Amino acid sequence: MRVFRHKHNLPAGVVEPVLKRLVSENIIIRVSHNTFVPGKDPDDINLCEIYAAIRGRQSELEFDMTSGEKDLIRKIDDFETEYINNLSTLNVMAN
């Protein structure tokens, strides 16, 4: 993971929370301190799952929003979900 962070110039404080979310959603599994493997067949990992895990639960964000803002966020979420729901990580990586 250190090589990835350095190659992309990313601080650990940015990468680690994302990895923790992906692990907590069983999208990846930590097998050692700096080694991760897919939590299931990579062809079955949907980009929508990854996006949702990284973004976090919507309820964490909604407590301080107006009803109009909540509606807008839900519409954006619906659009994003529709767009990426059927893509797998292998489809994207192949392009």
Please indicate, yes or no, whether residues 87 and 52 belong to a single structural domain of this protein.
yes
The model's pLDDT over 36-76, given as tens digits with 9 standing for 90+, comes to: 999 999 888 887 788 788 777 554 545 566 777 777 777 77
Q: What is the DSSP string of 1-65?
A: -HHHHHHTT--HHHHHHHHHHHHHTTSEEEEETTEEEESS-GGG-BHHHHHHHHH--THHHHTT-
**Parent domain of 33:** 1-39
Please indicate, yes or no, whether residues 52 and 20 belong to a single structural domain of this protein.
no
Please indicate, yes or no, whether residues 68 and 90 belong to a single structural domain of this protein.
yes
Please indicate, yes or no, whether residues 47 and 32 belong to a single structural domain of this protein.
no
- Whole-prediction pTM: 0.59
